[in-house]
Structure 1
Amino acid sequence: MMKTFTLIFLVFLSFLLPLHAQVSLGLRGGYTVSATQIKNAQGYKSNSLGTNSQLKNLHADLIINVPVYRSFYFQPLVRYITKGAYLRPLPYKPGILVESANQLKLHYLEVPMNFVLKYPLPMGKIVIGAGPYVAYGLGGSYDLDLMYNGSVLSTDSHNIEFNYKDRGIAPGVQLNRFDAGANVAVGIEFNNLMVLGANLSRGYTNIDRTSSARITNSYFSVSLGILFDREDY
């Protein structure tokens, strides 16, 4: 899988290099609110965006603008992002010790591949678009609570390596390194080369590789940054 991801990235770069004269680049960073939805056969279901399970973190982007036709652009990003959530405790059974994951953090190198329309305004351009994304898991961590009769006895932190040696965030659950889904984006490119953007992302890949649960990621982010140049100058 790692070889496949590397091959896709190299093909992506080879496509951009001949277009260097037409392509503009930029950097931006911002604030992320994420959630990880988990549903298993026992009926456990975690919360999603808009609830108190949200994890707040930061992200960083490399922006690439590729003109396609008039106001239509291909605008991929290379994004470092932390996804995850505060997970609800597992249902407890009286008199039995239960291990339940608490805070989950997953670090990804993500490539959203958006197709956007840019509408000119006196102050710059409004940008509206959507597209798929693929993401490669770099690592992560989670807090595991030891619970008895609904009370937390102790909490230990564990690393996630995305391999078969992982203990898993819950009994029988191990995570896949790759994630994929779709996102929508809006933003403004100001005439002074500053950029402001927001996007909503929804994962459709089940990142539980054991099939004992369905686990998906989602997040909302806002970003601020700057373009190094403009492709229309």
Structure 2
Amino acid sequence: MKKNVFTFFLGLGALIFSAQLSAQDNPVSIGFKAGTSLSKYRLSGNMEGFNSKMNIGGSVGGFIKYDLSRNFALQSGVDLYYRTSKLETITDKTSNKIKSFGVEIPLYGIVQGEIGSGKAFIGAGPYIGYGIMTKSDGVNLFKNSSAINRPTMNRFDYGVGAIIGYDFDKNWQINASYQFGLADLHKAKGGAMKNNGASLGLAYKF
């Protein structure tokens, strides 16, 4: 996993560097974005005795977009997110709120075209994430549990995502994205927790 993360960052760095060198020939745009999100976990195995319910969160970040041609581009960036969800037992309906804070780096291949006075786009690609802190009832799930002497959840996440949006003019953009996590974030054997989320955001490009 660490090798894959290093390879992703290396490739991302090469992309950004080449984009900067080619800025005169290939348009490069940089921007900031903020949005609101809904997230939960997909549960399986011995976690099927729980329901994960969506709660509201948010994110802020920056991105760089490299237009390879008029109708195709690559876009990446860094998103700082805050997510919340409820983990509820099916039998007695007791619940714990899970709060997560971390970073994600997506890489989208984007198809775009002019519609009306602006430009519409849609894209998809992989992402990697790193959890800075995840808490439930005040307990940091990334630290060793007193009961099992090990963390309850994994910090590293990865998966696939999609984005769709519209550039109103040179600067303003509205977008929606979806993340489908593939990494099992639950450390205990026999159960799995995988991220699932969607967001709606507003961006400003330079």
Fold conserved between structures, TM > 0.5: yes
Residue matched to 2:129: 135
Q: Given that residues 47 and 191 in structure 2 are in contact (C-alpha distance below 8 angstroms), is that contact kept between their aligned partners in structure 1? A: no
Map 1:36-75 onto structure 2 (within 5 A).
36-41=41-46, 43-47=48-52, 53-75=53-75
- Once the two structures are aligned, what percentage of the paired residues are identical? 23
Residue matched to 2:139: 158
Q: Given that residues 167 and 174 in structure 1 are in contact (C-alpha distance below 8 angstroms), is that contact kept between their aligned partners in structure 2? A: no
Residue matched to 1:181: 159
> Structure 2 length normalisation: TM-score?
0.85
CA-to-aligned-CA distance 1:184-216 (integer Å, 9 cap, x gap):
211011224101000121112111123231101
The answer for unaligned runs of 5 or more in structure 1 is 48-52, 93-99, 144-156, 229-233
Map 1:196-211 onto structure 2 (within 5 A).
196-211=174-189
Among 106, 120, 138, the alignment partner of 1:126 is 120
Q: Given that residues 39 and 215 in structure 1 are in contact (C-alpha distance below 8 angstroms), is that contact kept between their aligned partners in structure 2? A: yes
Map 1:1-233 onto structure 2 (within 5 A).
5=5, 8-20=8-20, 21=23, 22-41=27-46, 43-47=48-52, 53-89=53-89, 91=91, 102-143=96-137, 157-160=138-141, 162-163=142-143, 165-166=144-145, 174-228=152-206
> Structure 1 length normalisation: TM-score?
0.76
What is the aligned-residue RMSD (CA, Å)? 2.7
Greater radius of gyration (CA): 1
CA-to-aligned-CA distance 1:141-191 (integer Å, 9 cap, x gap):
112xxxxxxxxxxxxx2123x24x1458x9x98211111111121101122
Classify the secondary structure of the residue corresponding to 1:13.
helix
Classify the secondary structure of the residue corresponding to 2:188.
coil
Distance 1:84 1:58 in 2: 9
The answer for unaligned runs of 5 or more in structure 2 is none
